[in-house]
Amino acid sequence: MQKNKIIRQALPLVPAMLLAGCAGLSQSPAHLEPAFWKGEPPDALVSRNGRKIDSAAAWMEIRRPELLHLFSTTVYGKPLPVPEGIEFRVLERDDNALGGKAIRIQGDILCKGIDQPNPFRLLLYLPKNAGGPVPVFLGLNFQGNHSTTFDPAVLIPEWNPKPRPRGNRADRYDLDLLLDAGYGLATIHTADIEPDRPDSWKTGVRRAYLADGVQKKDDPGTISTWAWGLSRGLDALLTIPEVDPDRVIVWGHSRLGKTSLWAAATDPRFAAAVSNDSGCGGASLTRHIVRDGKSETLRKIIEVFPHWFALNLSDYIDREEALPVDQHELLALVAPRPVYVASAESDVWADPEGEFLAAREASKVYRLFGRAGIPEEAPMPKLHEPVGEGIGYHIRAGEHSVHSFDWAAFVDFMNANLPPKK
């Protein structure tokens, strides 16, 4: 990767059908904080033994398995085994939800053959009268399914004695936009799968898989466990006739954006992936560090959230240059399936420039599959100016959150890059 050479050239724009409604937003240049590099990121198209990867077949047969192994053992931990099967137990269905606009389905996911502390409760909204199976965005939520909507019919889990207020995070989910665009939205609470705590490997679903109750250095962290839970959510969605099985998109914000990318990397059944403000350990290059301590680094993230990753990752604290991988290669693991990366200008902690550079560098892999990606050496796009084909990116004004602009960009990108199969 050429770190300092930036040449301005035309960028392919994401078709902007829904974004036409956001025409009043500024398209001024994004403000970027000064940054430095901790070593050269590895070339995604050169294998560990120095072989140049110059075809889609070589990527799938040689480099992708190699990178998947490195991320599994070094960064996130080895994925949990696939269970013997799942049972999706429907608890409630309303074909006239949200004032007759949607179908709402709520149900519990039960994994066969494991000691599951809680069922994974799935909340799904589908557009009514769609005329056929619809694409669905599937993601986890931080504070309970009921926090994603003000819908009074959404169930609050019995195991939670102090649930967050209903609709507490509804501002992050533009459900009307999605339903009007013909998309469904599905979500599961992270804590159903595993709590976000350092000791969660002892109490969450991982405990069923860790031999003798001992955590090894390449055992899965919480992110890998959540990603496994997203795959179980996909298992459930695939039992619902109204869901298009070829267009389930895994998405996430912040730590759950990290999770969505790893879920897509480890489960090829996901048709596409979206990362929103996922930062360090997600879409941002680990070796790209904003000056004056303004961005998250390996040291900072592992000191606060050691349980998110494999224990092996701590060996690279302050030694980012020694890592055998970087996050552009995580994005590339999704190829040739579409992947979209979104940043926020004020979210310096997540390093928007590092996220853009990762998407641009991963584009080299997408070009092996005939997807244009983001042009090599292209500059950071202006605010509210989505770019890329096959792999897309935008940066918007504002803070670490999810806005209607983001959802409109996700839908426009998927409409262009993930059409229904004929």
Would you say residue 120 lies in a domain?
yes
Query: Token pair for residue 375?
Result: 């042009």
Supply the pLDDT for residue 12: 46
Answer yes or no: do 302 and 346 share one domain: yes
Would you say residue 107 lies in a domain?
yes
Answer yes or no: do 18 and 126 share one domain: no
- Sort residue 325 into left (φ over 0), alpha (ψ -120 to 50) or beta: beta
Supply the pLDDT for residue 3: 42
Give 151's contacts (C-beta < 8 A, 6+ positions apart). 97, 98, 104
Would you say residue 370 lies in a domain?
yes
How far, in Å, CA of 208 to CA of 199, rounded? 14
Q: How many domains does the chain have?
A: 2
Would you say residue 264 lies in a domain?
no
* 422 residues of the chain, pLDDT tens digit each: 544 332 223 344 455 667 766 666 778 999 999 999 999 999 999 999 999 999 999 999 999 999 999 999 999 999 999 999 999 999 999 999 999 999 999 999 999 998 888 899 999 999 999 999 999 999 999 999 999 999 999 999 887 778 899 999 999 999 999 999 999 999 999 999 999 999 988 888 898 887 777 889 999 999 999 999 999 999 999 999 999 999 999 999 999 999 999 999 999 999 999 999 999 999 999 999 999 999 999 999 999 999 999 999 999 999 999 999 999 999 999 999 999 999 999 999 999 999 999 999 999 999 999 999 999 999 999 999 999 999 999 999 999 999 999 999 999 999 999 999 87
Give 102's contacts (C-beta < 8 A, 6+ positions apart). 125, 126, 127, 128, 175, 179
Q: What are phi and psi of 179, to 5 degrees?
A: -65, -40
Give 175's contacts (C-beta < 8 A, 6+ positions apart). 98, 102, 125, 149, 185
Last residue of a domain, one of 229, 255, 281: 255
Answer yes or no: do 90 and 41 share one domain: no
Answer yes or no: do 288 and 407 share one domain: yes
Burial of 363 (0-12, 13-18, 19+ CB in 10 A): buried
Answer yes or no: do 339 and 394 share one domain: yes
Q: Which residues are marked as active site?
A: 254, 400
SS3 283: coil
For residues 81-120, one letter each, b for 16 or more C-beta atoms within 10 angstroms of the residue's C-beta and e for the rest, the string is: eebeebebeeeeeeeebbeeebbbbbbbbbbeeeebbbbb
Would you say residue 266 lies in a domain?
no
Answer yes or no: do 99 and 57 share one domain: no
Supply the pLDDT for residue 10: 35
Are the CB atoms for 414 and 338 separated by under 8 Å? yes
User: What is the domain extent for residue 2?
Assistant: 1-76+271-422
Answer yes or no: do 291 and 418 share one domain: yes
How far, in Å, CA of 2 to CA of 361, rounded? 10
Query: Token pair for residue 225?
Result: 């466990």
Last residue of a domain, one of 221, 255, 289: 255
Answer yes or no: do 194 and 212 share one domain: yes
Answer yes or no: do 13 and 121 share one domain: no
Answer yes or no: do 362 and 410 share one domain: yes
Would you say residue 263 lies in a domain?
no
Answer yes or no: do 175 and 248 share one domain: yes
* Beta bridge partners of residue 389, listed in sequence order: 373
Give 24's contacts (C-beta < 8 A, 6+ positions apart). none
Supply the pLDDT for residue 186: 99
Answer yes or no: do 72 and 91 share one domain: no
Supply the pLDDT for residue 203: 84
Last residue of a domain, one of 194, 227, 255: 255
Would you say residue 293 lies in a domain?
yes
Which DSSP helix (H) or strand (E) runs through 178? Answer: helix 175-180
